[in-house]
A and B are shown apart, each in its own frame.
Chain A
Amino acid sequence: MSASAQEINNLISQDYKQGFVTELETDTFPPGLDEAVIHRLSKIKNEPEFMLEYRLKAFRHWQTMKSPEWAFVNFEPIDYQAISYYSAPKRKEDGPKSLDEIDPQILEAYKKLGIPLDEQERLAGVAVDAVFDSVSVATTFKGKLKDAGVIFCPISEALREHPDLIKQYLGSVVPHTDNYFAALNAAVFTDGSFVYIPKGVRCPMELSTYFRINAANTGQFERTLIIADEGSHVSYLEGCTAPMRDENQLHAAVVELVAMKDAVIKYSTVQNWYPGDKNGLGGIYNFVTKRADCRGENSKVSWTQVETGSAITWKYPSCVLTGDNSTGEFYSVALTNNYQQADTGTKMIHIGKNTSSTIISKGISAGRAQNTYRGLVKVLKSAENARNYTQCDSLLVGDKCGAHTFPYIEVKQPSAQVEHEATTSKISEDQLFFCQQRGLSAEDAVSMIVNGFCKEVFRELPMEFAVEAQALLGLSLEGSVG
């Protein structure tokens, strides 16, 4: 017999393939957060003095703030004193100079994740920065990128080697006062990627960062800064995984993008943090602030995200369209299963003339998950002829899950055109039966229907990652039908 509604609800035996732990000797701070921890952190990273001051300022501000409560998610208050703010694999004084010096265990871990750091084995045309807990362990193809004038390195290295760029741009898109998690990140961020594409350069390869949480009871506070100077072009991708643990772990990242005149940044995310088990135990709290400033005329930033992991996702990759004729895009697939909760969307702030933005959001909810789209389209008085198109679709698998949409639209310029379309649909028993009657298993059928639903977003992903994302969706839905 075909899957009945009851069976569709017989969720879920999720198979999280990245849930292994790598046994390593580590340097880990004891849990707790105060100014002394920040001093120690800054020192261990060998940071310039201005960075320490920046961190302390952020920390002091954070202490005056409250954890936001407006999102449609539920969780016990986080004990910030129970988290360790730094954990790194033990290494020699100066850190590894080449791949040969990296702990083979770490290389093995990345290999298992399908990210071999050996340049010969890498997909041609993709450079990788591998961030393991609090530190970057390797960055590939640095030489080739340097020849093109592109800087791609761990942000901790950029702090030491490119302090002028850091001073100029860090916190210029997401100030340390922006929100609770951004303030915390500014105080304690440990690593992440730094990218600078000089004027007129088209980055010769895809850049990517692979974030891995390994250590228990630590938070990962990553900070990424990408600057695309005039007329430059870059495509960047991040991937994320973590071991399976019964405790929740915090990941509070800040990503800042700056696009100057005529620059294009394409930023893609495949987020597959451990989502917790089928009863909602464990999983990552993914509280992330991502924002792009389209600072120059004709600049363009495109966010594409495929969010399948994390117990809770709180994330709104946004575009501030400052430059005239600038463009912001947001393509999102957010899939929640079991007891996962996602409150995600975007903000498009139109400031310049003739600015345009597109939002395509696909939310899929299965099991007992709650999936929320929250988006803001704001057109300022200065943004003559601004345009926005928003399409927001939700798909329900089974009848115990929820989909919610909170669109906010503020328009102060009468010449603006803002469109919003939204749909909610359910995978019907008739669709499932039809596919089964053609020979597909119920699971393959759900996966096919969901992939069809997400098509408009997947086609925005770089080719290799589109394939990965499709496979990931199939995996995340495993067990979602009886």
Chain B
Amino acid sequence: MLQIKDLHVSVGDKAILKGINLEIKPGEIHAIMGPNGSGKSTLSHILSGKSGYTVTGGSVTYQGKDLLDMAPEIRAREGVFLAFQYPVEIPGVSNIYLLKAALNSIRKHQGQSEVDAMDFLTLVKDKVRLLEMDEKFLYRAVNEGFSGGEKKRNEILQMAILEPKLCIMDETDSGLDIDALKIVSEGVNSLRSADRSFVMVTHYQRLLDYIKPDFVHVLAHGQIVKSGGAELALELEEKGYSWVEVDQAAA
């Protein structure tokens, strides 16, 4: 699904990622953890195509193609989805309009016909129920006046409808209370499948109580300093990030 090889990324003159190597196979969930400033968000941004970063070395291959060469909308249409840490508001544009426009642009790219209005409504309503959202959200402007939890649930709703192959979740747990976290996690869990992979970028371990990762990677100073199974997250929670940082310094 995704191979990251010796990826170096900088912002201006400042090197942020200094040689990331990561391989993600279909169906796998990888958690990327790390202290503030370790480069976690940069990694999710560079995968999804946000501007303002310079790749100074290495490669990212997605389904056999050079991901870094694609425009962000092409990545989206090819199945890369970023669940934003801070979802933006778009006044006057209803949620359902955005969803339909997005779904149709993806379908068109994949050689499918545009979705029929009735079928679309049925699809959307099913997903809304799944995420325990109020149908009224569909007709409100995108994220406008939404609470933090509602915005994150809205991201998962988009994910559920667009059915991406690679989901990148950027600090999805930030700003969520425990109930919202549960609902969001259940939504994500329901989307797990053998051909869909997840990259979960998170600062805290608590999200991983609800979404169990196959692998945990610890990012520090722009490099993956430790990788392991789900248990690594618990160990981190107990010992703190200084543990891996010291560990790395000692090595």
> Chain A's nearest CB lies how many Å from the CB of B73?
4
B contact residues, total (Cβ < 8 Å): 32
Chain B residues in 8 Å Cβ range of A415: none
A439 at the interface (CB under 8 A from B): yes
Which single member of A433, A440, A448, A452 contacts B50 (CB below 8 Å)? A433
User: 1/0 per position for A3-24, CB-CB distance to B under 8 A?
Assistant: 1100000000000000000000
Stretch in A109-117, A281-289, A424-432 with 4+ CB within 8 Å of B: A424-432
- Identify which of A434, A436, A440 contacts B84 (C-beta below 8 A): A434
**With A434-B84, A439-B106 as given contacts, are A3 and B51 in contact (CB-CB < 8 Å)?**
yes
Residues in chain A near residue B162, CB distance under 8 A: 438-439
A441 within 8 A of B: yes
Which residues of B (97-127) have their CB < 8 Å from a CB of A? Answer: 97-98, 101-103, 105-106, 109
Chain A interface, number of residues (Cβ within 8 angstroms): 27
Cβ 8 A contact of B71, one of A436, A453, A454: A436
B76 contacts the other chain (CB 8 A)? yes
Q: Chain B residues near A456 (CB, 8 Å)?
A: 92
A455 to B86, CA, bound (A): 25
Q: Is A1 an interface residue (CB 8 A)?
A: yes
Q: CB-CB < 8 A to B51: which residues of A?
A: 1-4, 429, 433
- Which one of B48, B50, B91 contacts A453 once the chains associate, using CB atoms below 8 Å? B91
Contact present for A449 and B73 (CB under 8 Å): no
Residues in B with CB closer than 8 Å to A435 are 90, 98, 102
Hey, which chain B residues are within 8 Å of A2, CB to CB? 49-51, 71-72
Q: Which residue in A431, A448, A454 is a CB contact (below 8 Å) of B88? A: A431
Out of B49, B81, B98, B141, which one reaches A436, CB within 8 Å?
B49
Report yes or no: A448 in contact with B72, Cβ–Cβ below 8 A. no
Q: Is the CB of B84 within 8 A of A448?
A: no
Q: Is A442 an interface residue (CB 8 A)?
A: yes
Interface residues of A in 427-482 (CB under 8 A from B): 428-431, 433-442, 444, 448-449, 451-456
> B60-94: which have CB < 8 Å to A?
71-73, 75-77, 81-82, 84, 86-88, 90-93
Q: Give residues of chain A (3-53) contacting chain B, Cβ–Cβ below 8 Å.
A: 3-4
Asked if A451 and B93 make an inter-chain contact with CB atoms under 8 angstroms apart, the answer reads yes
The reply on B52 being an interface residue by CB < 8 A is: yes
Complex: A455 Cα to B77 Cα, angstroms:
27
Contact residue among A438, A440, A452 (Cβ-Cβ distance under 8 Å from B92): A452
Q: Does B158 make an interface contact (CB < 8 A)?
A: yes
Inter-chain contact B92/A439, CB cutoff 8 Å? no
**Bound CA span A433–B72, Å:** 8
Candidates B75, B77, B88, B92; contact of A434 at CB < 8 Å: B88
Out of B52, B88, B105, B158, name the residue touching A440 (CB < 8 Å): B105
Provide the residues of chain B in CB contact with A437, threshold 8 Å: 48-49, 72-73, 75-76, 81-82, 84
The chain B residue with its CB closest to the CB of A431 is B88
Chain A residues with CB under 8 Å of B92's CB are 451-456
Q: Which residue of B lies closest to A428 (CB)?
A: B88
Across the interface, which residues of B come within 8 angstroms of A434, CB to CB?
84, 87-88, 90
Minimal beta-carbon separation of B92 from chain A (angstroms): 3
The reply to whether B71 and A430 form a contact with Cβ atoms under 8 Å apart is no
- Whether the pair B49, A449 counts as a contact (CB closer than 8 A) is no
CB-defined contacts of A444 to chain B, threshold 8 Å: 101, 105
| Residue contact B93 to A438, C-beta cutoff 8 Å | no
Contacts A1-B71, A437-B76, A439-B73 given; does A449 touch B90 at CB 8 Å: yes
Tell me, rounded to whole Å, the shortest Cβ–Cβ distance linking A470 to chain B.
11
Q: Which residues of B contact A448 (CB under 8 A)?
A: 90, 93, 97-98, 101
Task: Give the complex CA separation of A461 and B75 in angstroms.
Answer: 37
Of all chain A residues, the one with the shortest Cβ separation from B102 is A438
Q: How far is the CB of B26 from chain A (nearest CB, A)?
A: 21
Q: Give the one of B49, B72, B103 with max A CB within 10 A.
A: B72
- Residues from chain B with a CB closer than 8 A to the CB of A440 are 73, 101-102, 105
Bound-complex Cα distance A299 to B98 (A): 39
- B93, A449: Cβ atoms under 8 Å? yes
A residues in contact with B73, CB < 8 Å? 436-437, 439-442
Smallest CB-CB separation from B48: which chain A residue? A437
Closest partner residue, chain B, to A454 (CB atom): B92
Closest approach, in angstroms, between the C-beta of A425 and any C-beta of chain B? Answer: 8
What mask results when residues 62 to 85 of chain A are scored 1 for a CB within 8 Å of chain B, else 0?
A: 000000000000000000000000
Which residues does chain A contribute within 8 Å of B93, judged by CB atoms? 448-449, 451-452
**Which A residues touch B52, using CB under 8 A?**
4
Q: List B contacts of A441 (CB < 8 A).
A: 73, 105
Mask for A367-380, Cβ within 8 A of B = 1, else 0? 00000000000000
| A452: min CB distance to chain B, Å | 3
Tell which of A430, A439, A440, A444 has the most Cβ of chain B within 10 Å. A439
- CA distance in complex: A482, B30 (Å): 35
Bound-state Cα–Cα, A456 to B93, Å: 11
- Could you list 20 A-B pairs, sorted by A, with CB under 8 Å? A1-B51, A1-B71, A1-B72, A2-B49, A2-B50, A2-B72, A3-B51, A428-B88, A434-B88, A435-B90, A436-B73, A437-B49, A437-B75, A437-B84, A438-B101, A442-B73, A448-B98, A452-B91, A453-B91, A453-B92
Beyond the given pairs A1-B71, A448-B101, 16 more chain A to chain B contacts, judged by CB atoms under 8 angstroms and listed by A's residue number, are: A1-B50, A2-B50, A430-B86, A430-B88, A433-B50, A434-B88, A435-B102, A436-B71, A437-B48, A439-B77, A439-B102, A439-B109, A442-B73, A448-B97, A449-B93, A452-B91
Q: Give chain B's interface residues, CB within 8 Å of chain A.
A: 48-52, 71-73, 75-77, 81-82, 84, 86-88, 90-93, 97-98, 101-103, 105-106, 109, 141, 158, 162
Interface residues of A (CB under 8 A from B): 1-4, 428-431, 433-442, 444, 448-449, 451-456
